Amino acid sequence: EPEVTQTPSHQVTQMGQEVILRCVPISNHLYFYWYRQILGQKVEFLVSFYNNEISEKSEIFDDQFSVERPDGSNFTLKIRSTKLEDSAMYFCASSGSLKVPYEQYFGPGTRLTVT
Amino acid sequence: QKEVEQDPGPLSVPEGAIVSLNCTYSNSAFQYFMWYRQYSRKGPELLMYTYSSGNKEDGRFTAQVDKSSKYISLFIRDSQPSDSATYLCAMSDRNQGGKLIFGQGTELSVKP
């Protein structure tokens, strides 16, 4: 069964450093998303991406964040200058057909620890 | 008022019990309703997807949406220890670029 994959599974970085989180969505999907989950809290939407541009972003997704689909398979989230409060699980998701665009499938997540 | 409210539990039931999980919401524009299961430190796994009101059944799982009451439910019949996880409701409206709003999640434990 197709699945969303994410790398790395765990990333430790120092405050102020740049990180890139990588995702490979399900191959025929058209819509891509990033969410985050701070330990013990709700899953929160960050950004959605369709047709090579951002469709929607939350107030969390400020100028420090960017997304890119550099090729036909990868989808990345970049945090330019990490803060302690960016420590969280980051989930990539994708959804497929235009008929059910919001049936989103999540990856296993990248645990980001900012020290 | 929070957009999506879900009792975090924990909820503990004996094996074989019928489990009822619920969420309420405030945004009447929501049209898409989903239930996810999440194991500790893993990604949410899509269980059920419902558009607008009504019921949907998949094996031991039944999802119900009552838009008039802004209330959604997930029923698990013949619960098993392997059902022990956190269950998240999520919802969206078609004008928000696929943005899902999640509930807090209900932690369920099914005891053998």
| Tens of pLDDT, residues A86-101 | 999 999 999 985 456 5
pLDDT of residue B109: 97
Task: Share the mean pLDDT of chain A.
Answer: 92
A81 has pLDDT over 90: yes
| Tens of pLDDT, residues B44-73 | 999 998 888 889 999 999 999 999 999 999
Asked whether B11 and B18 are in contact (CB, 8 A), the reply is no
Q: Are strands A31-37 and A43-50 parallel, antiparallel or unpaired?
A: antiparallel
Percentage of the residues of chain A whose pLDDT score is greater than 70: 95
- For residue A8, whether the previous peptide bond is cis, meaning omega lies within 30 degrees of 0, is yes
| Tens of pLDDT, residues B87-104 | 999 998 877 778 899 999
Contacts of B101 in chain A (CB under 8 A): 45
Residue of B nearest to A102 (CA): B98
Asked whether A19 and A7 are in contact (CB, 8 A), the reply is no
Asked whether A73 and A28 are in contact (CB, 8 A), the reply is no
Q: Is residue A99 within 8 angstroms of chain B, CB to CB?
A: no
pLDDT of residue A101: 57
Q: Who among B46, B51, B103 is closest to A105 (CB)? A: B46
Compute the nearest-CA separation of B95 from chain A (Å).
9
